[in-house]
Amino acid sequence: MSQRMSVLELNDLDRRIWDEELDGFVPDKIFDAHTHIFRWAYNTDPDKDSGPLRSFVQPAFENAGWELLDKCDELLMPGRHVERLSFPFPYSNGCDFEGSNEFIAGEVKSHSASGALMLVHPEMTADDIEAAVEQHGFLGLKPYRFFSATGDYVHCRITDFLPEHQIAVADRLGLLIMMHLSKPDGISDPQNLDDLEFLTTQYPRARWILAHCARAYSAWPIERAGNRLRKMPNTWFDTSSVCESDAIEALIRTVGIQRVMYGSDDVPVGVLRGKYVSFGYGWAYLSEQNHNLNLSHCDGRMTFTRFEQLRAMKRASLAAGLTEPQIEALFNDNAVSLIHGDR
């Protein structure tokens, strides 16, 4: 096991990966389409400090505002200009939604080139959402499967945690919807595909971002979704936390580079040391704290999840034959066009 370091400190391994592999790949201008702004205080679970989220939301990230995100970007991608799409952290066992949304609105309001999404739950009415959008200037909605009305966040349908009356508001106002899909097979699940085909057609002015390559941490869900995914209207995709190049390459080849956007999943995931790995039809987050691998034969230290994702994006870009302008679109132009273009 490597020596414990500050979570926001570079070591020689990190510097080598950045200098030798990533510095020449990452463009100067970046729009990060998947970031979190939150306070740990808005987690209302009385047992939160002994719960599973504590390993992700470490003390260094308890007040994750714009300044902290700037610090992370300056450390991990020095010299880059970064704008962001941000939304609160979805605390699953008790969440102060009002406090979360007010905090993020205050953090983003002075950054006109960036934007914020409001955290929603199924009990919110159309009037609730419209009032918050008008008051705070939110660009869209962030539902989450943990808030499913069924109580089953593994197998729930999209409308179990994002009811149609909320999608209708997004359609009427031309809002974004940041969607983290449920179900073990993610985007390849037939019910997810059926629901998305219906909802994206029924509500054509709502603009969907399917997070984490449509929750595909390997290529097989995208390959199975195939042509249905390619033809789906009003849908875009972010690459946040996807560390396998075959998944990113499959997405680019399936839907086209113009619908794929860089996202970091910061904070906290992108700046934690570890990597999402796939196996069989599953995946898991491998970190310094949750493995028993014998790594005496090599340098067994782990780097930042963001670096592992960027390495995968680089390999996928090379395999797909992306040009320099297409790489710039992947990191910046596609998101800017979606978020600030004509609605």
Q: What is the pLDDT of residues 203-260, one digit of tens each?
A: 999 999 999 999 999 999 999 999 999 999 999 999 999 999 999 999 999 999 999 9
Q: Does pLDDT of 96 surpass 50?
A: yes
Backbone φ and ψ of 85, nearest 5°? -105, 120
**Strand blocks (E) in the chain:** 29-36, 38-39, 63-64, 81-87, 115-119, 140-142, 176-179, 207-210, 235-238, 260-261, 274-279, 282-287
| pLDDT, position 212 | 98
Question: The sheet that has 176-179: what strands, in order across it?
Answer: 29-36, 81-87, 115-119, 140-142, 176-179, 207-210, 235-238, 260-261
pTM of the model: 0.96
| pLDDT, position 3 | 35
For the segment(s) 26-272+306-340, the CATH number from 3.40.718.10, 3.40.50.720, 3.20.20.140, 3.30.1540.10 is 3.20.20.140
CA neighbours closer than 13 Å in the CB half-sphere of residue 228: 19
| pLDDT, position 145 | 97
**What mean pLDDT do residues 131-155 have?**
97
